[in-house]
Amino acid sequence: MKKLIILIISIILLANLISAQEVIVTKETTENIKINDIIEVKINILNPYSTEKTYEVSERIPNNIELIEPSQPDEVKQFNGIEANFLKWNLLISPNMISTISYKIKIKELGDYSIQATDITDSLTEEVYFSNSLEFSVDCNPNNQCEENENYLNCPEDCDKGAADGICNYAADGICDPDCEEEPDCEETKLNILVIILIPLILAIIIFILFLLFKRKKPPEIKQEIPQETQQNIQY
């Protein structure tokens, strides 16, 4: 009787241990991502069971990311009129083994990005597992040029406060930002430019007027005629 109780308890513990097993899914990519970088996203799936398992993997790709490898999505769905691209895999994973799949994407714009958690479905039990999501920021490549999609916030190395980058840096700091409608520094700058242009122009006009006045007041030249007799004496 005692052995039977121990056997029952062992079966219950083993059943709890088996039920406690869970597929582990992790997703990773590189750090310090720059604009136009091609990065690889890896999805690692652990099959913790003692038997082979088949899993269906679904990965949603953000719309502002370009697929490189593969170049096209496996499925396109519509959500409230917005297209969503998906990559799909069917994996057969050996017992207690890890299977890794990956894809490559190109980051075309600066800013913050989020890739949702990967869906993993057990083909036999239809149980669904999820990976972690990926959150990362894309920085600019400094080249001393404030280019398209760059601004003072996401690329201060290239875009200073006075750059025409679509962002108004409103501050009385002596820098005119053309993106601001009412900027005191721009008014002061415009005034300085106006003064710089007008002063030489006014001086040029004054000099020209004085020149004309001086020319008018200059006495006419008087030519003196030498008598003919004097000229003859001079010749001899």
Residues shown for the chain: 236
> What pLDDT is stored for residue 200 in this prediction?
76
| Measured CA angle at 133 (ends 131, 136), to 5 deg | 145
Nearest to 47 by CA among 129, 134, 103, 132: 129
Instruction: Share the mean pLDDT of the chain.
Output: 78
CATH number of domain containing 28? 2.60.40.10
Nearest to 93 by CA among 55, 57, 131, 129: 55
* Cα Rg of the chain (Å, integer): 41
Identify whether residues 36 and 55 lie together within a single domain.
yes
Q: Find the domain containing 75 and state its range.
A: 23-139
151 — pLDDT class (breaks 50, 70, 90): confident
User: Would you say 61 and 125 are in contact if contact means Cβ atoms under 8 Å apart?
Assistant: no
**Count: domains in the chain:** 2
* 72 SS3 class: coil
Identify whether residues 57 and 164 lie together within a single domain.
no
Q: How far apart are the first and last CA of the chain?
A: 169
Whole-number Å distance between alpha carbons of 150 and 152: 7
Tens of pLDDT along 184-212? 545 554 545 555 666 777 777 888 777 77
> What pLDDT is stored for residue 140 in this prediction?
84
Q: Kindly tell me if the per-residue pLDDT of 111 is higher than 80.
A: yes
Identify whether residues 122 and 206 lie together within a single domain.
no
73 — pLDDT class (breaks 50, 70, 90): very high
Nearest to 18 by CA among 125, 131, 118, 123: 125
> What pLDDT is stored for residue 150 in this prediction?
81
229 — pLDDT class (breaks 50, 70, 90): low
Q: Kindly tell me if the per-residue pLDDT of 214 is higher than 60.
A: yes
**Which of 139, 174, 203 finishes a domain?**
139
Residue 208 lies in a domain: yes
User: What amino acid occupies position 52?
Assistant: E
- Please name the helix (run of DSSP H) or strand (run of DSSP E) that holds residue 213, with its range, or none: helix 184-217
Q: Kindly tell me if the per-residue pLDDT of 4 is higher than 80.
A: no
142 — pLDDT class (breaks 50, 70, 90): confident
* 218 SS3 class: coil
Whole-number Å distance between alpha carbons of 57 and 76: 15
Identify whether residues 42 and 127 lie together within a single domain.
yes
| Measured CA angle at 60 (ends 106, 149), to 5 deg | 35
144 — pLDDT class (breaks 50, 70, 90): confident
Phi, psi dihedral angles at 17 (to 5 degrees): -65, -40
Tens of pLDDT along 5-50? 444 544 444 444 444 578 999 999 988 898 889 999 999 999 999 9
Query: Which residues, in sequence order, are CB contacts of 173 under 8 Å at separation 6+?
Result: 161, 185
What one-character DSSP code corresponds to residue 226? P
**Which of 139, 172, 199 finishes a domain?**
139
Residue 51 lies in a domain: yes
What one-character DSSP code corresponds to residue 224? P
> What pLDDT is stored for residue 187 in this prediction?
54
Identify whether residues 114 and 192 lie together within a single domain.
no
Identify whether residues 51 and 155 lie together within a single domain.
no
> What pLDDT is stored for residue 58 in this prediction?
97
